[in-house]
Structure 1
Amino acid sequence: MPEERPTDAHLCGQLYATLEVLQRLADIGFRALGREESRQRAAKKPRTEMTVPLHTVGKSLYWARLRGHGPAAGAVFRSIPDLMPSARDLPATLNPDQQKEFLQGWQAQLDAIEKIRNETAGR
């Protein structure tokens, strides 16, 4: 039986975590995604809060590579297409239950990225 695709709210949380990690690897000044208040705003209004970071993801990848984090940033970057919601655009708003799904997706993606980092560090 095929695995069900996560909800758009969950995928938005995973996408947010991915963009957050890329900003952290890039170590550039606009790393706002790592702030709790930014994450809470994105959980309520993904389209408003995530569109600009999604548009500038190439900049994060570029700077992460310059900082010596190319392999990790590349692996994180390549996951983005699979994390895009099924709708044409990011959801404009999420209700309280969807906000919980967003945060669960965010945590699940951070855990998945950490697992990959640990596996590649052991090589």
Structure 2
Amino acid sequence: MPDDLPTDAHICGQLYAALEVLQRLGDIGFRALGREESRQRAAKRPRTEMTVPLHTAGKSLYWARLRGRGAAAGAVFRQIPDLMPSTRDLPASLSEEQQKQFLQGRQAQLDVIEKLVREAGGR
């Protein structure tokens, strides 16, 4: 990545990771974002696949709190504003190279979130 700045594709992958973990903590939608096919679709078309989970992030936070995972979910939820891409909306589609960046961003953010959730006492 030029100048060590993450691309919007990478940032979208990071956002996806946060939404994925929120769904898992809240047991929302049978953890749809955790499925491989969901991840691959989102890497190709972030706007189509991530808009609804982004809109329902508060629901995931709510359900996680009810399940005793509020501290961990709150820590992840607070990351979302910093994980929004620089564009006005999520990208409509990503090239093959951008899809790789998306998946790299997702994995990098999962590593960050794992530590954050562990420190917050979540699962």
Instruction: Give the aligned partner of residue 101 of structure 1.
Output: 101
Equivalent residues of 2:9, 2:99 under 8 A apart: yes
Residue correspondence of structure 1 range 82-93 to structure 2 within 5 A: 82-93=82-93
Alignment TM-score, normalising by the size of structure 1: 0.92
Choose 28-37 or 71-80, whichever is displaced more: 28-37
Equivalent residues of 2:26, 2:61 under 8 A apart: yes
Whole-Å separation in 2 of the counterparts to 1:86 and 1:13: 13
What is the aligned-residue identity percentage? 80
Instruction: Give the aligned partner of residue 79 of structure 1.
Output: 79
Whole-Å separation in 2 of the counterparts to 1:20 and 1:7: 20
Whole-Å separation in 1 of the counterparts to 2:30 and 2:54: 13
Rate the CA distance shift 1:119–1:70 in 2: closer, same or farther, 3 A: closer
Whole-Å separation in 2 of the counterparts to 1:107 and 1:92: 21
Return structure 1 stretches of 4+ with deviation > 4 angstroms.
none
1:31, distance to aligned residue in structure 2 (A):
1.8
Residue 29 of structure 2: SS of its match in structure 1?
Answer: coil
Letter in 1 for 2:84: M
Rate the CA distance shift 1:103–1:72 in 2: closer, same or farther, 3 A: same
Instruction: Give the aligned partner of residue 65 of structure 1.
Output: 65
Q: What is the number of equivalent residue pairs in this alignment?
A: 119
CA RMSD of aligned residues (A): 1.3
Choose 75-84 or 26-35, whichever is displaced more: 26-35
Instruction: Give the aligned partner of residue 14 of structure 2.
Output: 14
Instruction: Give the aligned partner of residue 32 of structure 1.
Output: 32
